[in-house]
């Protein structure tokens, strides 16, 4: 029962097969491999963006930081939410890669509204050379709280950015899950909604460690290549990144995995919502749920070896009825059995009766 | 016939097998996987360094830059040769990761002598706060010209560094090849010879993309972890780095691969040395050769599809007798057939008679 | 009538005299001048800190940024208020000089409380290597809203920092004004209250452009010297910085100027408080006032050439009764005549009757 | 007898007078002062560059580093000589301000030739994304060895830079001395010779601490302003920088001072050249001389309190005839009396007979 993160699941077997298949003889290094040519074509097609600049890196933080560094001067500030991954979970990598830009925190949740964004940008106006200059807006979809922006919501935020002449970055570590959740096309959710640069996630959705960075305006391409190399994120044996991404795109595996993860989360959420005393903090719109239930349920899960984040509260404590909040994330590999067992433990079933591997 | 670099060969089958084997269920992310525990033990044993801090990253540039950033303040300078990978081939990554440190170029070749190093360090003395401060010495073994330092040579250079209170970093992207070439033990070539931090290569020697960074003094450990994360080089699905490194170490695969690569290079060098008109620029002591022969031979190789770097000179040119210098690197997978075919083409055999895949 | 900032007034005549007096023959450059020896002794005596490391720079931003860079690693975050000068008015200089550290905004005003600080520091705890690490706390006294911390308040905040092992920096661009306002001694307001590093202002209080940076623990001295030089803030003709600071300290000129500025502000505040329809946003505890009154009064001031910041609202507008907020800062040179004229204009006196130079 | 540097002499009396005159009432801060308007006009006129962007900073390192940071991306390399001030005497400030750019050392002396520059730039070509990219060429005139480029020489080097699409920066810390030495006009030595950005020195030539940065293409203006502020080099009481620069330009004081300094150096050089056993290392073309003479002469100077840099060799030593090299720099305030006394001491006159203040 592993719901701690979608970055801890296995690689999809088709991806492993592709890696093995790619392992023949020598290949040109540093992105000059033939597989990368196919990846580039594929991603341009998927995004209906024949001119887009497409690159691969191995971590989501690299994708975000390098994309932002390409869009943001060191004397500027990035507009993002206070729970943005770039703010909370990258150990100052955006500040490092941009050469010292600032992050301005917009709103108080995982989604920002156009009004609040407009106010935040407007507020960075009056100090001339003294304050940071306005830089790009960075959105996350699926958000860090498991909620999803529709293409219309992204477009409304991009329109605000455009009013101030600012670029838009989308952290799409879970973009596939957002597309599946909304039914939007890749193009609708990105450049048609005003996104300039995209971190297109793969690692959390069945790959071993590959993310694409896509600039819909290829003017940024060469600078990005230099920043990627300077950041030590250009792989010599690049074909193994390409092979993963290609397998991901072929036959829609990326969407299939996301559908599986979202469905797993839906089953989990439905199971939990049916229980008395379970309260959700955010609508579980993709593959992530935040919900609270009494400590006793958490204790049963803990004894049974379930893995998830205790988001608020402590497992230790006197009151078995005190509600503690959990974060649960489903990846493509989570099984119905794991989910049902998890729900049963929350409901009150004793741990240890049967042990579900996972 | 692929001799362009040892970073373009395939992953060793045992490593692929280990990756597939590691692909079961969920694993704790970010280096907390069980395989990493085994990697740590294994590397400490191999290096006879039970206290060493051991980390994995995915690129050689990351290993070097992060190790140097941990050892070198931004107002210091790193002492290295003018052909050091950190100087020539990392697009200012060391400058980036250190926050703006300088590289002071020592000597005029790929190996530095203690006398020249001493003079270079001494020369950075007289400017007090005005000049950069002395920082670590960075050596490469196997060097960028295919020559090898003995442990005694490393120790002599480290002794100079110690006289000035400086740390020593070793870029061991091809350390296995250097050990095989000299017969030295890992400990003799590193900490027993005064090395403080090591980039321990795997990617050029049969892995998909893994290098270890080893600090023999674990005081640097936590700072390194933070710098790795901030540099976007901490992998969530870390188990796949661990699995590679573990397979590399088990049963001495790393040394076996290096022996194969060095032997291939020896066969190639012997073949070429037997030919009239072939001149070597550097002694081919490990898995890399630099040699010159007439343009006509290069043309034959080119027509036959051989891949290697034309180091000096241009394939195009009127004079078929003009000597052009090649860099040839052998990885573990190079076959005798490829080598013999390559030598035959230099010797004068016509291209196209038979086509050796590779 | 100049109340826009205390950084726009003239240099005190005694300081100009000292500059002229220092202008004899040659002097050792880069801080080796004899006057600096006297400055060092004087500041150590003033702060009862015989071991303190004492340096001069020319701007407040340099003092703050270099002090913070010495205390804060690039993967850490500085705790400060959302209106801190280091956050709002230094164009990312702290991020630049620290190499990319973050600023965590504490509370919602210019003063932070121990409880809110403790909560903010505690909140940066749970992410291990993923989030920024906790770095120094930076306070400002006089605050950016003209309020003043007592030594006890500083000590209470420092105690929170100490509980987490964090250092404390004090932005004392207006420290003299805070000391005069509270009656505290320099030592009581700084190291006795737990301050580790101090930006000791001079420029806003009668100097041409000099701030001291004082580390009460001299272990930071050499690193600071290197960072200062690397930041291009080491002056060759340093004696002219020393001469200013020495004149500032001699005969208590620094406190005398601060007393004059605080008294001017008190007179201004009393004058305004006596008027109906004037509301203060913050208690005017030192040399700065924030107050609102009807647009009509601002128009009269504007016509009369008064200079101050319109902090909230627009001079243009239909409603003469709408309240607009002003920021007014008094430096040592502001005269009673200017103040009284300013108050009279707010009260309703017509502009243009007499013109007060300033 | 002070010949250690031209950064240790007094401020010219006319400049002090201008500072005192500027010290009336309040002035707009941060470069919005009226005097700066006059400085801008004056410099544009002097340089025959009506569109130039003109800024003031307080140190030469700030001028150089900020100008280079505006011209040079962090993944590029600056071409300069191995004795360039930016390489040897700025404690990695260019690396810091550019965000980690590299400096590529061209040639082996203080002046570079077009051929050697071309070869150096060409050599940075073959590594694509792996090596640093080519960035600006930075020249120094007067050079760090007291020699002078003619406008024709600057133009020839700029032409090489232009062939590769590179910008040219001129470190003119002693530009006035170079103009006086060559008779060239400011425009001839700079933009007419292909210079894009100029550090225009004042501090070494009679000012207290002011350098101008001039971009002949004003497209760089706003970025420079932001970098200056972010570097903590924007002065609030900017009028005192303006006042210095204005006094420097008025009535040609800057050229008058340079003429005095060059004449002093000529007198010194002639005096020394007339002595047997004195050998010059470089032609003393401006206000700086490098020459060697026997240790005994240095000892006499030392006893008499003469200040200058012992460039090569040690004062202590057994052999009174061993030649030691001195660096001597004349500023505008050096007197004939000091010079003649210095020469007399080298010649053999006993120290202590009379003591010349200085």
Q: What is the pLDDT of residues D18-60, one digit of tens each?
A: 999 999 999 999 999 999 999 999 999 999 999 999 999 999 9
Res B127: pLDDT: 84
Mean pLDDT by 10 residues, chain B (358 residues): 91 98 94 97 98 98 98 98 98 98 98 98 89 97 98 98 98 98 98 98 98 96 97 98 98 98 98 96 97 96 95 93 96 96 92 49
Q: Is the pLDDT of residue A354 over 60?
A: no
Q: Do B61 and A20 touch (CB under 8 A)?
A: no
Decide if C11 and D307 are in contact by the 8 Å CB cutoff: no
Place of tokens 């090395």: B195
Cα→Cα distances C96→A3, A132, C134, D228, D316, Å:
39, 12, 18, 12, 44
- Tell whether the model's pLDDT for residue C282 goes beyond 60: yes
What is the per-residue pLDDT for A356?
43
In this prediction, residue B352 carries a pLDDT of: 56
Using CB atoms, pick whichever of B8, B58, B209 lies closest to residue A27: B8
Q: For residue D358, which residues of chain C lie inside 8 Å, CB to CB?
A: 25-26
- Bridge partners of residue B171, in order along the sequence: B140, B199
* B92 to D75: CB separation less than 8 angstroms, yes or no: yes
Residue C355 pLDDT level (bands cut at 50, 70, 90): very low
* Interchain contact D352–A (C-beta under 8 A): no
Contacts of D74 in chain A (CB under 8 A): 99, 230
Of A99, A223, A229, the CB nearest to D99: A99
Inter-chain touch A92–C103, beta carbons under 8 Å: no
Q: What is the 3-state secondary structure (H, E, C) of A207-276?
A: CCCCEEEEECCHHHHHHHHHHHHHCCCCCCCCHHHHHHHHHHHHHHHHHHHHHHHHHHHHHHHHHHHCCC
D132/B92 Cβ within 8 A: yes
pLDDT digits (tens, 9 = 90+) for A331-340: 999 999 999 9
pLDDT recorded at residue C356: 43
Cβ atoms within 10 A of the Cβ of D346, count?
A: 23
Q: Which of D90, D102, D105 sits opposite B92 (nearest CB)?
A: D102
For residue A99, the chain D residues in CB contact (below 8 A) are: 74, 99
Q: Cβ contact (<8 Å) for D130 and B89? A: yes
CB contact under 8 A, C30 and B129: yes
ipTM: 0.96
Other chains touching A, judged by 3 or more CB pairs under 8 Å: B, C, D
Residue C66 with chain D: CB contacts under 8 Å: 232
Note whether A59 contacts B333, CB cutoff 8 Å.
Answer: no
The string of DSSP letters for D2-26 reads: B-S-TTSSPPPHHHHHHHHHH-SS-
Using CA coordinates, name the residue in chain A closest to C125. A88
Q: What is the pLDDT of residue C349?
A: 80
At residue D180's C-alpha, the angle toward residues D176 and D184, to 5°, is: 95
Q: Which residues of A touch C91 (CB under 8 A)?
A: 75, 129-133
Residue D76 phi, psi (nearest 5): -110, 175
Contact list in A for residue D235 (CB cut-off 8 A) is none
Could you tell me which chains touch chain B, where touching means 3 or more CB pairs under 8 A? A, C, D
Chain A residue numbers with beta carbons less than 8 Å from the beta carbon of C95 are 74, 95, 100-102
**pLDDT tens string A124-151:** 877 899 999 999 999 999 999 999 999 9
Do the beta carbons of residue A186 and residue A154 sit within 8 Å?
Answer: no
Of C30, C74, C129, the CB nearest to B225: C129
- The alpha-carbon gap from C118 to the nearest alpha carbon of chain B, in Å, equals 23
Biggest alpha carbon distance in chain D?
Answer: 66
Closest residue in B to A358 (Cα) is: B25
Chain D, window 39-58: residues with a beta carbon less than 8 angstroms from a chain C beta carbon:
57-58
Q: Which residues of chain D are within 8 Å of residue A30 when distances are taken between CB atoms?
A: 129-130
Burial class (CB in 10 A: 0-12, 13-18, 19+), A38: middle
**B70 contacts on C by Cβ (under 8 Å):** none
User: Cβ contact (<8 Å) for B129 and D96?
Assistant: no
Query: Which residues on A lie below 8 Å from C76 (Cβ)?
Result: 92
Domains detected in chain B? 13-253 (3.40.640.10), 254-347 (3.90.1150.10)
| Residues of chain C contacting D233 with CB distance shorter than 8 Å | 59, 62, 232-233
CB contact under 8 A, B91 and A226: yes
Burial class of residue B206 in the structure, from the number of CB atoms within 10 Å of its CB (0-12 exposed, 13-18 middle, 19+ buried):
buried
d(CA A297, CA A284): 20
Q: For residue B77, which residues of chain C lie inside 8 Å, CB to CB? A: none
Contact: A226, D133; criterion CB under 8 Å:
yes
Among B129, B227, B229, the residue with its CB nearest the CB of C226 is B129
d(CA D43, CA A85): 49
Size of interface A-B (CB pairs under 8 A): 155
In a mutational test of the D interface, the residue from A31, A55, A65, A75 whose CB has the highest number of chain D CBs within 10 Å is A75
Q: Which residues of A touch C127 (CB under 8 A)?
A: 88-89
Nearest chain D residue to A225 by CA distance is D129
- Whether C61 shows a pLDDT value over 70: the answer reads yes
Give this prediction's pTM. Answer: 0.96
- Tell me the two tokens of residue C169: 């920096």
Give the contacts of B293 (CB within 8 A, at least 6 positions apart).
B272, B275, B277, B278, B279, B323, B324, B326, B346
Question: pLDDT means per 10 residues in chain D (358 residues)?
Answer: 91 98 94 97 98 98 98 98 98 98 98 98 89 97 98 98 98 98 98 98 98 96 97 98 98 98 98 95 97 96 95 94 96 96 92 49
Mutate to test the interface with C, among A61, A100, A131, A135 (most CBs of C within 10 A): A100
Question: Which of D75, D88, D91 should we substitute to test contact with B (largest number of B Cβ atoms within 10 Å)?
Answer: D91
Chain A touched by B233 (CB under 8 Å): yes
D264-269: long-range contacts at Cβ-Cβ below 8 A with a sequence spacing of 24 or more?
Answer: D264/D330, D264/D331, D264/D332, D264/D334, D264/D335, D264/D336, D264/D339, D265/D146, D265/D289, D265/D328, D265/D329, D265/D330, D267/D336, D267/D339, D267/D340, D268/D3, D268/D328, D268/D330, D268/D339, D268/D342, D268/D343
Kindly list the residues from chain A whose CB atom is less than 8 angstroms away from the CB atom of residue D129: 30, 225-226, 229, 234
Q: In A, residues 114-133, which contact C (CB 8 Å cutoff)?
A: 127, 129-133
Answer for the pair A179, A186: CB distance below 8 angstroms, yes or no.
Answer: yes
Other C-beta atoms closer than 10 Å to the C-beta of A307 total 16
Q: What is the pLDDT of residues C77-90, one digit of tens each?
A: 999 999 999 999 99
The pLDDT assigned to D127 comes to 84
Interface check for D74 against chain C (CB to CB < 8 A): the answer is no
- For residue B95, give the chain C residue with the closest CA: C99
Quick: pLDDT tens for A295-314: 999 999 999 999 999 999 99
Closest to B217 in 3D by CA, of B156, B167, B178: B167
- Are the Cβ atoms of A30 and D230 closer than 8 angstroms? no
Residues of chain B neighbouring C99 (CB-CB closer than 8 A): 74, 99
Flag if B10 and A20 touch (Cβ within 8 Å). no
Q: Looking at the predicted structure, is the pLDDT value of residue C316 above 60?
A: yes
Is A357 a residue whose pLDDT tops 80?
Answer: no
Spell out the SS3 assignment of C41-88: HHHHHHCCCCCCEEEEECCHHHHHHHHHHHHCCCCEEEEECCCCHHHH
Across the interface, do D7 and C237 touch by the CB < 8 Å criterion?
yes
Q: What is the pLDDT at residue A126? A: 74
Rg (CA), chain C: 21
CA nearest to B214, candidates B226, B200, B225: B200
* CB-CB contact of D96 with C231 (8 Å): yes
Nearest chain D alpha carbon to A133: D226
Cross-chain Cβ contact B75/C234 below 8 Å:
no
């Amino acid at each position: 029962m592993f719901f701690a993160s979608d970055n801890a699941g296995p690689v999809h077997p088709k991806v492993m097969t592709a890696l093995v298949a790619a392992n023949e003889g020598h290949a040109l290094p540093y992105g000059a491999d033939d597989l990368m040519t196919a990846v580039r074509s594929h991603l341009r097609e998927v995004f209906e963006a024949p001119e887009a600049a497409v690159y691969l890196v191995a971590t989501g933080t690299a994708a975000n930081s390098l994309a932002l560094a390409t869009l943001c001067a060191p004397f500027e500030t990035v507009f993002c939410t206070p729970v943005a991954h770039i703010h909370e979970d990258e150990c100052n990598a955006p500040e490092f890669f941009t050469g010292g830009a600032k992050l301005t925190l917009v709103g108080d949740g995982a989604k920002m509204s156009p009004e609040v964004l407009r106010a935040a940008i407007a507020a960075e106006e009056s100090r001339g050379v003294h304050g940071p200059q306005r830089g790009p807006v960075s959105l996350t979809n699926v958000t860090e709280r498991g909620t999803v922006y529709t293409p219309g919501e992204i477009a409304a935020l991009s329109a605000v950015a455009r009013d101030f002449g600012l670029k838009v970055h989308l952290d799409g570590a879970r973009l596939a899950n957002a597309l599946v959740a909304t039914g939007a096309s890749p193009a609708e959710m990105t450049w048609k909604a005003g996104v300039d640069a995209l971190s297109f996630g793969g690692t959390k959705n069945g790959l071993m460690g590959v993310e694409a960075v896509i600039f819909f305006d290829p003017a940024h391409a060469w600078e990005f290549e230099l920043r990627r190399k300077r950041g030590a994120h250009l792989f010599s044996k690049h074909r193994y990144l390409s092979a993963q991404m290609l397998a991901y795109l072929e036959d829609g595996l990326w969407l299939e995995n996301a559908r599986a993860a979202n469905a797993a989360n839906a089953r989990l959420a439905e199971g939990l919502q049916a229980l008395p005393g379970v309260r959700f903090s955010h609508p579980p719109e993709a593959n992530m749920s935040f919900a609270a239930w009494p400590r006793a349920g958490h204790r049963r899960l803990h004894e049974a070896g379930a893995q998830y984040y205790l988001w608020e509260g402590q497992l230790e404590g006197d009151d078995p009825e005190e509600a503690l909040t959990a974060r649960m994330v489903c990846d493509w590999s989570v099984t119905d059995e794991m989910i049902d067992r998890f729900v049963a433990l929350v409901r009150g079933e004793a741990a240890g009766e049967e042990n579900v591997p996972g």
